[in-house]
Structure 1
Amino acid sequence: MKTFPRFTLCTLTGLLLLACGGTKTDQKTTQTMQASQGTFGHDVAFLKRHQDVLVLTSPDNDSAQIAVIGAYQGRVMTSTANGAGGNSFGWINYKLIESGRYQPHMNAFGGEDRIWLSPEGGQFSVYFKPAAPFTFDEWQTPAIIDTTAYTLDKATGSEAVFSKTASLTNHAGVTFDIRIERKVSVFSKTAIAGLFPDTDLTGVNVVGYETANTLENTGADWHRDKGVLGIWILGMFTPSPKTTIIAPFTSTYSEKLLLTDTYFGKVPADRLKVLDQAVIMRADGNHRSKIGLAGLSARPFAGSYDAGKGVLTIVQYDLSPTGDYLKSTWEQHNDPYGGDALNAYNDGPLADGSQLGPFYELESNSSVKALKKGETLTHHHRTFHFEGPADKLAPIAKAFLGVDLQTDLNW
């Protein structure tokens, strides 16, 4: 197995002080090298021992920070709403990172906002070579979303822009020349208040950030009957016995709930409930299960609630209810453009007892179109963590996720 290189931000002219020395954030990080596991300070210190880490901070709230790694495709590894000593919200694969070696098929470094490309399976997949069977042995994650380090094009205290180019061939033999750009921004407290209007955040610690993900066609025109590419954002978080995934839905565009709950076998009834306005699923890391909502049923919000730590997580993403979404199941598709807009996953042991995590995921997909040369597709994915007493978080959950924290999440 290959070892993975360090992505050296220090070599970028003009960013030396920001990335490598002397900043207020770095001084704070140095002071928290011995921070306890589970804290942001601990995770930043660990990550800095293996890769170059860019810590971005809210413009008006020093306690709200995120850790980004260019070597991992401009990935947001973790975040905090309460400084270095606060909870670290992203799941991190310490063992894999510490090994310094690439794994076959994919490298699950972790992180609460990483970019993938859709579709994963089907005749337009870019994870399987032309004519290859849809089996695990043949499955390979493209390097541009797995092992390739992105270039840091710009950075300020609260924002960074990364990019990379690549050429990919899909299962149908069509080649795509592309450029990916990821703009990562930490929100100010004022901006978060505007995004969650009529919400009382007094006594609540909050961090929020956005990735603006742009896919540019730099080659030949795309054609719908030969396949296109979509943007897929996945966030990995730490599970607990008291954590529940929440996927709100709407009947505005479809009277029938377009829910898929059979990705890894049907999700057991004691792990999945359909409420009046949302689907909820256990996020305890003990049973491998996945759900998906089609664009016609999804809402542009999803989230989770950890009752033990008092953390409400909300993701907000671009949604086109009547748009085309790519299917990613490992099979030939009769309707390759009838896929999910939202997915959620709970990790669990495999048949042999092994387990990658545990973690759980909140995922959003872009709608797609056949891009001509020079055209772009952009997908925004925002992540917010609200930390506080249940009575403060309950109105936010009700307004944006459609659930009552006290009565709806009782298992």
Structure 2
Amino acid sequence: MASSDSKGYSSYDDEVSFLKEFVELTELTDPSGKSKIAVSAALQGRVMTSTALGENGRSYGWINRELFSSGDTSEHFNAYGGEERFWLGPEGGQFSVFFKNGDDFNLDNWYTPRLIDLEKFEIKEQGASSVVFTKEATLTNYSGFQFELEIERKVEVLSPAQVFMQLGIESISGINTVAYQTTNTLKNMGSKDWEKETGLLSIWLLGMFNPSPSTTIVIPFHPGSEADLGIPVNDNYFGKVPHERLILKDSVLYFSADGTLRSKIGLSPARAKNILGSYDATNRILTILQYNQPQGVQDYVNSMWEIQASPFTGDVINSYNDGPAEPGKKPMGPFYELETSSPALALKSGQEGSHIQLTCHFEGDEEDLDRILKQILGVSIDEISKAFN
């Protein structure tokens, strides 16, 4: 059983020691030794967890200890956890890579490709603060098109000074910070071009984090009329999200990350900005994700579980709150997810496309965290705390 502090977080050292019983880890650190992350080649170069305060600091990633300890694997999906995993979309539709041709779109027929679930990536380069993984593979979609591809994934820890510079905000000396950037590249290794008519892939990054009753997901969005920009948020993935769990203001939304109700939201390219985050008010932990969102690009793969009239009108940003799939059942976690996707990649033979994401965790005084929140997400801690009240 994991030891944890009084507010539910295990230490980084405790989580890493546990993980090393089951998988090899690559640990990366900044020059100070305080900012640390643990990455697993066995799980596709996944960032399993991180800390801003060295070995004894809180571990930010959600780890599925029960699954690791069981030694079991599922044909459908192995939710090992980890705060940034590499996936490929689309999940549903006629170009899905999770369903076989002719199968109905239901949970019994949903299979995560082994490539992004159980297969190991190779380490190409490694240093104290960065590591590069590679993988060559083939993948066939629902419509029968076979992708021949190469994946390259670079993971690097940034120093606090680099973090503040990259976010474009003033440096705050008294705050504890860990941040890492991943550069994820997909290359068409086959002789055939990847075209809309036969389906396209996207790079999809998903992070699993520890929920709490006081954790709120905060996503700024572009304001405007539905006639011009479409709906502000798609909340129909698992049935409409109850109003008390999803609050929309003029240009920002708040989504509960308490890990008690299975629910998911998504934002379109017309609405999404290149930034999102979450705030745990009890533990004073701010998590920020920033990603490269190409301007003017509208084609994103659609992951809805149906044959789609519009397969390239998908979401750029998603967030998932875990909970029981059925009344009386155990949740998968619980955890919550922050997710971003690349555009649909129409790559000619030999071409490549990339998706870059920065993940940051900040711990410190409310006053300092409030300054960061206002600069990056445009809201205050007070506004977040009142969102659901």
Asked whether the 8 Å contact 1:295–1:320 carries over to 2, the reply is no
Take 2:56 and 2:4, find their aligned partners in 1: how far apart are those partners?
Answer: 7
1:169 aligns with 2:143: no
Question: Structure 1's 161 and 94: CA in aligned 2 closer, same or farther, altered over 3 A?
Answer: same
State the secondary structure of the residue aligned to 1:259. Answer: coil
Q: Which residue of 1 aligns with 2:321?
A: 346
User: Any idea what the Cα deviations from partners look like across 1:282-334, whole Å, max 9, x if unmatched?
Assistant: 10001111110001100100000000110100000111353211110110111
Asked whether the 8 Å contact 1:130–1:172 carries over to 2, the reply is yes
Q: Which residue of 2 aligns with 1:335?
A: 310
Deviation at 1:258, TM superposition (A): 3.2
Take 1:270 and 1:199, find their aligned partners in 2: how far apart are those partners?
Answer: 34
Take 1:380 and 1:255, find their aligned partners in 2: how far apart are those partners?
Answer: 25
User: Any idea what the Cα deviations from partners look like across 1:19-75, whole Å, max 9, x if unmatched?
Assistant: xxxxxxxxxxxxxx98876110100100111111111001x3210000000000000
Question: Structure 1's 395 and 35: CA in aligned 2 closer, same or farther, altered over 3 A?
Answer: closer
Bigger mean CA deviation after superposition, 126-135 or 239-248: 126-135
Q: Percent identity?
A: 44
Take 1:249 and 1:322, find their aligned partners in 2: how far apart are those partners?
Answer: 15
Deviation at 1:112, TM superposition (A): 0.5
Q: Which residue of 2 aligns with 1:230?
A: 202
Deviation at 1:221, TM superposition (A): 1.2
TM-score (norm 2): 0.94
1:371 aligns with 2:371: no
1:291 to 259, 265, 270: 265
Question: Structure 1's 149 and 119: CA in aligned 2 closer, same or farther, altered over 3 A?
Answer: same
1:317 to 283, 286, 291: 291
TM-score (norm 1): 0.89
Q: Which residue of 1 aligns with 2:19?
A: 47
Take 1:355 and 1:194, find their aligned partners in 2: how far apart are those partners?
Answer: 39
State the secondary structure of the residue aligned to 2:164. Answer: helix
State the secondary structure of the residue aligned to 1:334. Answer: coil
Take 1:154 and 1:35, find their aligned partners in 2: how far apart are those partners?
Answer: 34
1:75 to 34, 46, 53: 46
Take 1:387 and 1:270, find their aligned partners in 2: how far apart are those partners?
Answer: 27
Q: Which residue of 1 aligns with 2:119?
A: 148
2:85 to 95, 103, 114: 114
Deviation at 1:280, TM superposition (A): 0.6
Deviation at 1:100, TM superposition (A): 2.0
RMSD of aligned residue pairs (Cα, Å): 1.7
Asked whether the 8 Å contact 1:298–1:321 carries over to 2, the reply is no
State the secondary structure of the residue aligned to 2:243. Answer: coil
Take 2:156 and 2:198, find their aligned partners in 1: how far apart are those partners?
Answer: 35
Deviation at 1:257, TM superposition (A): 4.4
Take 1:35 and 1:83, find their aligned partners in 2: how far apart are those partners?
Answer: 15
Map 1:3-152 → 2, pairs under 5 A: 38-58=10-30, 60-152=31-123
Take 1:401 and 1:42, find their aligned partners in 2: how far apart are those partners?
Answer: 32
Amino acid at match of 1:107: N
Asked whether the 8 Å contact 1:297–1:321 carries over to 2, the reply is no
Take 1:122 and 1:34, find their aligned partners in 2: how far apart are those partners?
Answer: 42
Take 1:409 and 1:218, find their aligned partners in 2: how far apart are those partners?
Answer: 49
Amino acid at match of 1:347: D
Q: Which residue of 1 aligns with 2:193?
A: 221
Q: Which residue of 2 aligns with 1:362?
A: 338
Bigger mean CA deviation after superposition, 131-140 or 240-249: 131-140
Aligned residue-pair number: 378
Asked whether the 8 Å contact 2:230–2:270 carries over to 1, the reply is no
Deviation at 1:251, TM superposition (A): 3.2
State the secondary structure of the residue aligned to 2:383. Answer: coil
Deviation at 1:347, TM superposition (A): 0.5
